[in-house]
Amino acid sequence: MAENEKHKLKLIKQGAEAKLYRGDFYERPCIVKERFSKSYRHSALDRSLTAQRIKAEVRALFRCRLQGIIVPTVYFVDLDSSCIYMEDITDSCTVRDYIVQIQKENGDSAISQLKPLATKIGGIVGKMHANSILHGDLTTSNMLLRGSPLDLNIVMIDFGLSYFDSLAEDKGVDLYVLERALLSTHPNTEELFSTMMEAYKQANKKGAAEVISKLEEVRMRGRKRTMVG
């Protein structure tokens, strides 16, 4: 990013691959995702990997958008400083915070209240998989609820690990990550995951059966495949 730009941005998050800044893009609230270089990689390889990953992320955002899945609007892609400038989803909370809040406030009746949300999420993931988009990091923190949570306007974010693939195996792993993320962050949500899977089957009619049988397999062995022979 250009130097006169950097001081106006506020660092909000630092991950293993990228830094997130909050700022403005011509008066619109924006998020800047900067993939920093890794000094342990050869510089030529580092440049090429970083560029490839930024492009993959932009492509995934674009393909989701074509399917009517809400994602942030991309304002500017700067491959020279490895930054993506995109819409900041203001007036939103993460699905994670929302589930935590509902569970705290409502105890036993929380699950039935959260079912419409689970249905919506299952539908979105099903639609993505039906179009061969794999998110790669389906956690409840990577889903935002824009506006009133009751409107179920879910915005999918962070496509940094996403890829395109039509293999049922990989989709099974994607669902497994979602299941683990859900159950480990939110206790007693098994029923919500089954609700998600029902909606998933509706949205990904063709592939669902095969993906779900792969999911069973992945559950038995964990996310990584056994490499024997």
Q: Which residues are catalytic?
A: 137
Least distance in angstroms from the C-beta of 109 to another protein: 30
Identify the DSSP state of 64. Answer: H
DSSP string for residues in 139-165: -GGGEEEESSGGG-EEEE---TT-EE-
Q: Which stretch binds another protein (CB under 8 A): 11-19, 40-48, 73-81, 170-178?
A: 73-81
Q: Which stretch binds another protein (CB under 8 A): 33-41, 68-76, 163-171, 210-218?
A: 68-76
Beta bridge partners of 93: 145
Burial 26-38 (b: 16+ CB within 10 A, else e): eeeebbbbbbeee
28 sits near another protein (criterion: CB under 8 A): yes
152 sits near another protein (criterion: CB under 8 A): no
Return the amino acid letter for 31: I
Single out the residue of 7, 16, 39, 80 in contact with another protein (rule: CB under 8 A): 80
Who's near 104: CB < 8 A, 6+ residues apart?
A: none
Q: At what angle do helices 110-130 and 190-203 cross, to 10 degrees?
A: 40
Residue whose CB is less far from another protein, 23 or 136: 23
Residue whose CB is less far from another protein, 2 or 16: 2
The contact set with another protein (CB under 8 A) reads 1-2, 4-5, 24-26, 28, 54-55, 58-59, 61-62, 65-70, 73-80, 85, 87
